[in-house]
Structure 1
Amino acid sequence: MAFVLLAGCVPVLPGGGQADGSALDGGMQSAGTLGNDHVRPGQRWWASLPVPYNRSGRPVEITDARFTQVPEGLEVVGYGAYAQDDSEGVVLLMQQGSVGMPRLDEFENHLHDVNRVRAKSESDVYYGAWLKVTGRISGNLGGCRYEYRQGGRSFDQTLDCDIALRIERQGAP
């Protein structure tokens, strides 16, 4: 069962010696909580970061995307970046092997490609992480950090994102 709750935005956070960026926006994915409360230890899940929208008047080149807050009970197994056209849209959250969901591992992973996003445009590529449930999950996955270049300078920008995966209670349907 997935759910969405409205939440506020988080300010931009500094990182790795790069300037604080402000060119990106996460849209509706940055405005709520996405989750599932039927998770079991040992399962693998895909969780998407917000699709970056370049709200500035100049193009950006996204070079990396990561979650900065990974709670105890979840392990990041790997990151991926996939073309929306390949997966027929954005896969926000899914359990690996879910019936009817695209097999992301069959698509080209653009993680190590520079993703050029035009001014006032949404990225054609979306980013996310493969997660392994290792035990009781202590909090929410969040802090969606992007690294990008714009106008010859490097920037870090963290967008609000909140993903709540919860271990299914014993006896729950």
Structure 2
Amino acid sequence: MLLLTGCSPASSDGGRVAGGALDGGMQSAGTLGNDHVRRGQRWWAALPVPYNQSGRPVEITSARFLRVPKGLEIVEYAAYARDDSDGVVMLMEHGSPGMPRLDELENHLRDVNRVKAKAESDVYYGAWLKVTGRISGNLGGCRFEYRQDGRDFEQTLDCDIALRVEKQGS
């Protein structure tokens, strides 16, 4: 008798299978951050823009951070079209001069985002954050859920965002 193990991706919660169609490119390498945040501020932090490295289209249905450190609160998730925001806004304080007003743009979070094979998504995902106190670690673990060929997948891309509360008197 022949027993095969490890031949298919492991199933995770919700019946999704671990996927490998997405890549986060340079946004999945290194740490993005700011050392001058203050309690009460509102910040936007983006997940890596998903690139469909497979030979078949995908439909992205969800995106979120898996690690949210103490001192940060996710106010809401959002998804914006790159064309509407004149590119991808990776990290910014709400209302920063010279930056787009993302909160005034159409939020595509509830829309199914179809990404062609060997193409980058036209929509990027992220979260509005509130600084509630001293931040104890980095925001990270970027989980995407998507459908491909009628099957549901989830995939976690590397991402690391370091926000630190500015010390008093600085």
Whole-angstrom CA distance in 2 between matches of 1:34 and 1:118: 28
Count of equivalent residues:
161
Task: State whether structure 2 residue 96 is matched by structure 1 residue 98.
Answer: yes
CA RMSD of aligned residues (A): 1.3
Deviations 1:71-129 (A, max 9, x none): 00000000100000000000000000101110011111000000000000000000000
Q: Distance in 2 between matches of 1:163 and 1:17?
A: 29
Which residue identity lines up with residue 155 of structure 1 in the other structure? Answer: F
1:16 deviates by: 3.5
**Aligned residue for 2:134?**
136
CA contact (8 A) 2:11 2:17 kept: no
Unaligned regions of 5+ residues in structure 2, if any?
1-9
Distance of 2:11 and 2:67 partners within structure 1: 13
- Which consecutive residues of structure 1, in runs of 5 or more, have no partner in the other structure? 1-11
Q: Is contact 2:33-2:161 (8 Å) kept? A: yes
C-alpha displacement of 1:28:
0.5
Summarize the alignment of residues 16-165 of structure 1 with structure 2, pairs less than 5 Å apart.
16-165=14-163
User: 1:35 is aligned with what amino acid?
Assistant: G
Distance 1:96 1:80, change over 3 A: same
| Residues 92, 13 of structure 1: alpha-carbon distance in 2 compared, 3 angstrom cutoff | farther
Contact map agreement 1:15 1:156 (CA 8 A) in 2: no
Query: What residue is the counterpart of 1:3 in the other structure?
Result: none
Residue 166 of structure 1 aligns with which residue? 164
Deviations 1:19-78 (A, max 9, x none): 000000000010110000000000000000000000000000000000010000000000
- The alpha-carbon deviation at position 14 of structure 1 amounts to 4.6
Note if contact 1:13-1:158 (Cα within 8 Å) is conserved in structure 2: no
1:91 alignment partner AA: V
SS in 2 for 1:139: coil
Q: Secondary structure at the match of 1:16?
A: helix
Q: What SS does structure 2 have at the residue aligned with 1:129?
A: strand
CA drift of 1:157 comes to 0.3
User: 1:128 & 1:13 partners in 2: Cα distance?
Assistant: 25
Distance in 1 between the 2:15 and 2:164 partners? 35
